[in-house]
Chains A and B, each alone.
Chain A
Amino acid sequence: MAMLRTTNLTRRYGARLGVDRVNLAVDAGEVFGFLGPNGAGKTTTIRLLMGFLRPHAGQAEIGGLDCWRHSARLKRDVGYLPGDLRLYPWLTLTTATSIVSQTRGMNISARASELAERFELEPTLPVRKMSRGTRQKLGLVLAMAHRPRLLILDEPTSGLDPLMQSRLADLVREAAAAGAAVFFSSHTLSEVESLCDRVAIVRRGKVIVDESLDALRHRAPRVVELQYGDEHAASAAVLPDFLQVVERRGAVCRCELEGTTPPLVTWAYQQPLVDIRIGRPDLESVFHRLYHVGEEGT
């Protein structure tokens, strides 16, 4: 059974659509990337999952419980980091740990201290004196300290320096390895690519793709640079259908490869090439393409 599931989840803001018939499922042990530009509906989806917003249609469930009706109960197993984290100015890690421990009915102080150490967080520094990144670290500690079965992180790396981003990535991987489901919302492709097993792309409130990263990589074109002996040879070259020219510059012809590499290798063997460079699958261009298709569809 999926740890998190939404079925035709819909939420409007007056005449404006927040999310429209969103269907998602995240299993235990999976790191699920939820990708989209600002205003695409990522935070609205998360707020529906957390039971802050009531859906106008459809349903969201966590651990088999309805997110609106059983919001308090299901949040025992959920760790949540809001996208725009704001905390009480007087809060310190110590006071927060005490309040959250009492609220959750479990002592989280040992795990919170361990996480704070990994994030290099001072236990007695109040929020009013914290930088944005430090506040984010406190939010992450509080979201993870009770070892939740589901982690919902809304743009968790914002404000974090690269070192802390890497520590967060380690913690996310550890949580998934321990069996937790991770719902990782972001608008940055690279962090989703490095962390997630599967990704859904949301655009204007609609999920336009929901696939494993491996499947997306198979669909992703590779950039191929063909170097000929001279400019004349490069311009005279006739390319096969699976190579689309991006640009020709001097003796170099830059193309996108569609499909797998063996046909390219076979074809290249017969060409007057000096060199050939094959890049990694370019997910960026897949996402751009998907967005473009989505835009045409609306």
Chain B
Amino acid sequence: MRGLLQKTLRELWVSTLLIGLGLAGANMLLTFLIPKVQMQLGDVFERLPFAQTMMSALLGTEVGKELTARAMASVLWVHPIVLALVWTQAINLSTRVPAGEVDRGTIDFLLGLPVSRRLVYACEVVMLLATGVLVIAMGFAGHRAMAPVMPADMRPDLQSSLIIMANFYCLYLAVGGVGFLVSALCSHRGRAVAIVLALVLGSFLLNFAAQLWPPAQRVAFLGVLEYYRPALVLQSGEVPWSDMLVLLAIAAFALIAGGEVMARRSLCTT
């Protein structure tokens, strides 16, 4: 297993580091900017009522005219840049095996080694788990580094922040798990990436539309973002067990199914 991990790490460390640094930078910037935006938000809502709806859509929960400072801080964890970076990491990693290896023609070399397909798959899943912790931790560190500039009433407490991080990690695992399943079914990485990207973008849009269009609310449960609502965590301070369990169940099902597909299908360079 060490050999495979060494190979995977060699291929992933640069992109993981860049995404982690990007997330840290984005979180620092957002942590710095959010208090300034919040001060003017009341006026913006007065002048542009639509902005309030947009904000609700972004946070995935209803916000009143007076958006609480704490709820506003949750924008940090649902901002499209933040989501895009974490999803990029999940999709990049989850579509490497087998789709990526088949696509670039290296699967014959990899499977020519005395390793089972399940072991190759397990190594990639271990990397998904480990790099997810790293990337999200770097993002969190970026936020905490800039947190002192936030007003005290706006600054999320450590416990709530960690709960959100855990929820965020579950979301990352769900996207990564689906990525592994799609990758196991594909022989072209581009196709696998496109499918997973379409699914997460669809989920994002569904979550957005559910706040604006009542019929979309009925199917909102199909999107993964329905199970990731940092604003509610910051407001209640409670652990969203059911949301996290749903995301973990999606991840577990998709990872197991992906592993089974990979172990049973014919695999070689096309």
Contacts and interface: CB of A to CB of B under 8 A. Distances in A.
Interface of A: 47, 50-54, 71-73, 75-76, 78, 80, 82, 84-88, 90, 95, 98-104, 139, 142-143
A227 to B, nearest CB: 54
A50 B112 contact: yes
Given A52-B266, A53-B268, A87-B109, A72 B11 contact: no
B3 A50 contact: no
B6 interface: yes
Chain B interface SS verdict (over half): helix
A82 B113 contact: no
Contacts of B113: 75, 100, 103-104
A11 to B, nearest CB: 9
Interface residues of B, number: 27
Contacts of B3: 98-104
Chain A interface SS verdict (over half): helix
B254 to A, nearest CB: 23
B109 A82 contact: yes
Given A47-B268, A82-B269, 5 more contacts: A52-B266, A78-B112, A82-B109, A99-B4, A143-B112
A95 B109 contact: no
Interface in B64-122: 104-109, 111-117, 119
B10 interface: yes
B36 interface: no
A101 B111 CA distance: 15
Contacts of A95: 10
Contacts of B269: 82, 84, 86
B191 interface: no
Nearest to B107: A52
- Of the listed residues B105, B119, B264, the one surrounded by the most CB atoms of chain A closer than 10 A to its CB is B105
B108 A72 contact: no
B112 A84 contact: no
Contacts of B4: 99, 103
